[in-house]
Amino acid sequence: MKIFFKNILLLCLPAILFVACEKDETKMMMSATSTPATLSASSTSLVLTKANAANTAVTFNVTPADYGVNAVITNTLQLDVKGNTFTKAKEVVLPAKAESQSYTVIDFNALLLSMGLQTGVNTQIEARVKSELSSKIDPVYSNVITLTVNPYPLISFLYVPGAYQGWNPSTADSLISPTSNGIYEGIIKFTTGNLGFKVLTKKAWGTPEYGKGATSGSIAVGGGDLAAPQAGMFKVTVDLNASTITFTPYSWGLIGSATLGGWNTDTDMTYNNGTRVWSVTTTLVPGAIKFRLNDDWGTNFGGSNGVLASGGSDINITTAGTYKIDLNLVTNTYTVTKL
């Protein structure tokens, strides 16, 4: 049986009505007299710079929603690019009963970059507060304010100590997020029998330590050791936003008539996660070289005058000797240096 109250009863009942529904469940219905939160910001035009990283960038002030009862309300700050109507909102749950939320420049910059905003240009974003009293009733939303923001690029790192390097955080390979958007990538060579590792936010144990999550391909703070699929060179991608990790076979090698393996066998290169450069020191004879991915011609580079070209011409070697060869896929360049 359903029971309905007429509006006149609101004169003597609280702003929240309890209605008995099917299956003996109780649902809470919000009255029309409930008042949403209001939101304001200390500044609505923000040009962020690394030099001011420790300064306060913005303070959001919240007048809490009023449901007409003394209850704990969950307030969530929502941010999204203007025009998205909060369909891709970045959400930050505010502390209980908090009526303001301040961000330093570096923290708000990281939040903006996690939204995929371009650096060095003005972008309009919108902010509002979502208020929830219970999962049994719909949330209410504050007014929307518009901010013009201009974030700066900021590289951040994760560190990957594991059996492949003796479980030493101080010498562990790193994963890089060029814009601090929560997605990190790096190249790691796992050796046979040494597949286990953890992911750290600093080069020390005791920081938030990410390990194996509850499902395949997921990570969780405090989880057990993660493991590479097998020995070899992999591009490791950690997405802290989605709490996931993926492994993609990824190795570059040198091939050609000037190499020891000729056109049949690649000479593997080594990746430096800090400089993001592939390098190898090897003996070459007069002939030609090229670079290719995963021992396959599907992706290969040639070039001239130190500039790479996809599928480009052979790079000629005229004198026999020992050479150091660098491949930089960030700047799309290479160097061949006779030692």
The full DSSP string for 159-184 is: EE-BGGGTS-GGG-EEEEETT-SSEE
Mean pLDDT of the chain: 88
pLDDT value, residue 11 = 34
The answer to whether residue 13 scores a pLDDT higher than 50 is no
% pLDDT > 90, the chain: 71
Q: What's the token pair of residue 228?
A: 């590479």
Q: What's the token pair of residue 161?
A: 């100590």
Sign of torsion, CA 125 128 129 134?
A: negative
pLDDT value, residue 60 = 97
Q: How far apart are the first and last CA of the chain?
A: 89
pLDDT value, residue 245 = 98
Q: What's the token pair of residue 252?
A: 């570059």
| pLDDT single digits (tens) 290-334 | 999 999 999 999 999 999 999 999 999 999 999 999 999 988 999
**Residue pointed to by tokens 């702003």:** 15
pTM for the whole structure: 0.60
Rg (CA), the chain: 28
| pLDDT single digits (tens) 263-298 | 999 999 999 877 889 999 999 999 999 999 999 999
CA neighbor of 27 nearest in space, from 4, 7, 6, 10 = 4
- CA dist 268 and 260 (Å) reads 11
Angle (CA) 157 86 32, round 5°: 135
DSSP 115-133: TTPPTTS-EEEEEEEEEES
Angle (CA) 176 178 180, round 5°: 90
Domains with residue ranges and CATH for the chain: 34-150 (2.60.40.10), 156-249 (2.60.40.3620), 252-338 (2.60.40.3620)
